[in-house]
A and B are shown apart, each in its own frame.
Chain A
Amino acid sequence: MTPAIETTSLTRRFGDFTAVDNVNLTVDSGQFFGFLGPNGAGKSTTIKMLTGLLAPTSGTIRILGADLTQNSAELKRQIGVVPEGMALFGRLTASEYLRFVGRMYGLDQATTAQRTEELLEFMNLAGEQKKLVTDFSHGMQKKLALAAAVIHGPKVLFLDEPFEGVDAIAAGTLKSMLQRMIARGATIFLTSHVLEIVERLCTHIGIIHRGQLVAQGSIEQLRAGVASSGAAPLTLEQIFLEIVGADRDGNLAATPPEQELSWLS
């Protein structure tokens, strides 16, 4: 079976700094893949490369079996993205924005109009017909960005922190929508710092740390790879901290030295 996403020795350097270092990633079709890492580990840079927004310094990217560089336009038709910063057009209304995105993806006017209406209804944005996107709350903008990412029915969906700033009710609705997409055969590649959500949604996990892919597999595989001291199975948070939370000397990086910020009351 052709993987939905496959990278080989994917590397991205910014001057002397290597943001993504020799990453070999495989995400099979139909997987709900969680891509985790501490702040600045290289998650967003990886997503930008996987969606064609940033050129790799070296390495290859294959989406749905085709080389992304060679088939950029065709593959962009097959993928949906909620990019970092959402990249919305603030001076449009939600309806206008979705219509624009639909047309840019080649949907005909009738289909675009119909899907726009359905998506706005689904996202609870239908009542904001005249409001400009710039006047939306962060959560509303997030929902709109997600609506725009799926309007053309993508086969692979890249979501960079999709639940950040979204209220619990909307998050629940979005989660069920994403799960139905998975059931229909789509592949979802998601980054999030909320490990509980990732644990609940994702079947497979990749962990990137300091630009290197340090773990990849199903949650069970990751759990098996990390020694557990107790009888209870490790949570994803514990697995994550085990893998990236310790520095080279084995100390947890999050543990502050005693003298740090001692002036804080």
Chain B
Amino acid sequence: MAQLDPRPDHPDSTPSADAIPASTQLLAIAWLRWRIFVNGLRRQAGSGKVGSLVLSIALRILIWPILALWVVGPALGSGIFAWMEVSGRHWSRLSVLFGGITLGWQFIAINGTGIAASASSFDPSTLLRFPLRFGRYLVLRLMLGFMTASTMVGCFALFAAAIGIAVAQPSLGPAAFVVLAIFAAMNIFLSRMIAIWVERWLSTRRAREIFTALMALVFVSFQFLNIHRPTGHRAHLSNGSWLLGFMQGTNHFLVWLPPGFATNCIVPLQHPLARLAQFAALLAWTALFLAIFAFRLHRQFLGEYLSEGAPRAVAVAAAPRTYPQPATPAAFNQQPATNNDQLFSPAIAACLRKEWLYIRGNTNQLIQMFTPLVFVFIFSRGILARHPTYLLSGALGYALLGLLGTLYNIFGADAAGVQLYLLAPVRLGDVILAKNIAGLALLLIETVLAWTVVMMLAGTPIPLSAQFSAAFWVVFVIFANLTLGTLRSIQAPRRILPGQTRQLRSTSTSQTTALIVLATLLGSVLLQVPVALLCGHFHNPWLAVWIFAPLAVAAVAAYALLLGHAEQLILTHRDTFAADLCGD
């Protein structure tokens, strides 16, 4: 072994933190992320998972163009809308556009927090042990989240809006680009501010429970508003332009918010000094959001601990111990069975109880359940409302997307705890079954809720054939995902770290798995197209039922088959299984 004689650097030769150039640390982190990405691919290829690597690349090639559409679509819409409104001198509608972009941006940001974090290769708070000044840490944190879906979609939409304005009236172009760049920065700071404060507020179980209740209240309020929606002369707004109508109605207070200030900076309606004042106000909002974000981040930088309890290593003061009379082995065997025990075997009942405890404390999963329902509500008032045949399937597909992802990493939250399943005298098939029952229960609740929303909001009755076909389609999609998800959970599990920011990261799956989920669901949705064409061709809407019913049966059979072989599968893959879930 070599001899090493480490010595503390001489005081005079030790650079202070200021002496470390910012570029050195920023480049080091950029390099770190690059190496993590490359090594991730290398590991797949080097560990005999060439098939997995090829699958991963193929999925990316397949899915990325579709994802690109999600960026290009809003950008095109935004650019054309801006061009039309500026050409028609409908200045006030620009603020509606900017307000809409902000609303969408923040909604996607909140909705996508878990996905973004799971795609993230490391927890940025681990950088705190390095000699970073707060300013540099702030820049790093802002940089690390720049490639999120919300930021990209929002920035492209604003850039397109600026182009639209410049094309419609070239003299406004320079102002539009400058103002909308500031507006984009405002949105970035706002989304970060919301995320970091939500993380702070949800750091205790009580807060998470209150938040969940509020989400439920918001959802119910949407339904209430819908039932009591205006009729008569304003009823036309419900046909596709309901959201626009709502946004236009907010114009009078938008003028005091960044969308209004941004609009007034660009449009040539006011005195130049007034426009300058509006610009200052926009800057002030931007600075305010940055300051509030920085304030919270600074608390984290100083070593704030976000949780209601003591950290893992700190023991809670021991409670007075009582020593009951010793139980005899016979007494153990005579323990009365609970209701759960009567329904399920003790192993399944125990696993179900554990899953329930996990779900109860997992706000992210509850957010994932409620937020799509809000979109289902919007879909039901929008384009899909005109096509009742597709409304149900489309809404159900969207509502289930988030939860289906959780089926692909069912052991992730157990992390090193999975060793218990391997050590305990239980059938691994029972453990998987219990986890799948818990997942199915959530999917069932989500399906019923989404179904209820659609039935309540559909303008015209949904044909019975469409309902039956949707039901079989849902069974097919759920069991197909359950089968694939269980397979991926065994073959490519990923450990989920609880606590602090990870509370919003609890659905983390690998990127390949995420792409598989997306591809599976998109494939399932696209499957509806040829089926619908066939139904149209033969003028028989019940044909869809005859197609989806066998598919559903096949998916259930495939799942049953997999469940029978799950034990053997886990044992075959136990090296990877244990290493990925237990390792660092």
Contacts and interface: CB of A to CB of B under 8 A. Distances in A.
Given A91-B121, A106-B15, A81 B129 contact: yes
A150 B11 CA distance: 16
A93 B43 CA distance: 11
A95 to B, nearest CB: 10
A255 interface: no
Interface stretch (B30-38, B61-69, B160-168, B427-435): B30-38
Interface string B302-338: 1111011111011111000001011111000000000
Given A17-B317, A42-B314, A90 B583 contact: yes
Contact of A105 (B35, B130, B302): B130
B366 to A, nearest CB: 23
A127 interface: no
Interface string A75-96: 0111001011111111111001
Nearest to A73: B17
A177 interface: yes
Contacts of B329: 263
Interface string A130-143: 10111100000100
B6 interface: yes
A41 B318 CA distance: 11
B108 interface: no
A124 B1 contact: yes
B20 interface: yes
A89 B310 CA distance: 25
Contacts of B14: 77-78, 153, 155
Interface in A83-132: 83-93, 96, 100-101, 103-106, 118-119, 121-122, 124, 130, 132
A181 B8 contact: yes
A40 interface: yes
Interface string B70-99: 000000000000000000000000000000
Contact of B308 (A15, A104, A259): A15
Given A69-B302, A74-B17, A91-B40, A53 B27 contact: no
Interface string B535-549: 000000000000000
A73 B131 contact: yes
Contacts of B1: 122, 124, 169, 173
B323 A259 contact: yes
Interface stretch (A44-52, A199-207, A215-223, A234-242): A44-52
Nearest to A38: B315
Contact of A259 (B309, B317, B325): B325
B12 interface: no
B323 A181 contact: no
B89 to A, nearest CB: 54
Contact of A104 (B28, B46, B311, B584): B28
Contacts of A92: 32, 35-36, 39
Among A69, A93, A100, find the residue whose CB has the most chain B CB atoms closer than 10 A. A100
A91 B131 contact: no
Contact of B310 (A17, A180, A259): A17
Contacts of B2: 118, 121-122
B314 A103 contact: no
A14 B6 contact: no
Dominant secondary structure at the B interface: loop
Interface in A47-61: 48-49, 51-55
A19 B314 CA distance: 7
B325 A40 contact: no
Nearest to A247: B318
Nearest to B133: A73
B4 interface: yes
Interface size class of A (residues with CB under 8 A): 35 or more
B24 interface: yes
A76 B131 contact: yes
A55 B313 CA distance: 16
A181 B7 CA distance: 6
Contact of A132 (B6, B31, B39, B129): B39
A260 interface: yes
A17 B318 CA distance: 11
Contacts of A86: 584
A55 B579 contact: no
A153 B25 contact: no
Given A69-B302, A77-B16, A100-B31, A155 B8 contact: yes
Among B18, B21, B27, find the residue whose CB has the most chain A CB atoms closer than 10 A. B18
B35 A103 contact: no
A101 B325 CA distance: 56
A252 to B, nearest CB: 15
B131 A14 contact: no
A263 B132 contact: no
Contacts of A233: none
B39 A257 contact: no
Contact of A119 (B4, B35, B126): B4
A186 interface: yes
A14 B32 CA distance: 34
Interface in A149-192: 150, 152-155, 169, 173, 177, 180-181, 184-186
B387 to A, nearest CB: 46
A53 B128 contact: yes
A262 interface: yes
A77 B303 contact: no
Contacts of A41: 315
A39 interface: yes
Contacts of B21: 106
A77 B131 contact: yes
B8 A184 contact: yes
Contact of B317 (A74, A104, A210): A210
Contacts of A42: 314
Contacts of A121: 2, 4
Contact of B583 (A54, A106, A135, A186): A135
Contacts of B339: none
A73 B19 CA distance: 11
A136 to B, nearest CB: 8
B6 A45 contact: no
Contacts of A52: 128-129, 302-303
B414 to A, nearest CB: 18
B303 A53 contact: yes
A81 B15 CA distance: 18
5 contacts: A14-B314, A19-B311, A93-B39, A105-B131, A153-B14
Given A45-B314, A184-B7, 9 more contacts: A14-B310, A45-B313, A81-B129, A91-B43, A121-B2, A122-B2, A153-B6, A186-B8, A263-B329
Interface of B: 1-9, 11, 14-21, 24-25, 27-29, 31-32, 35-36, 39-40, 43, 46, 121-122, 126-133, 299, 302-305, 307-311, 313-317, 323, 325-329, 579, 583-584
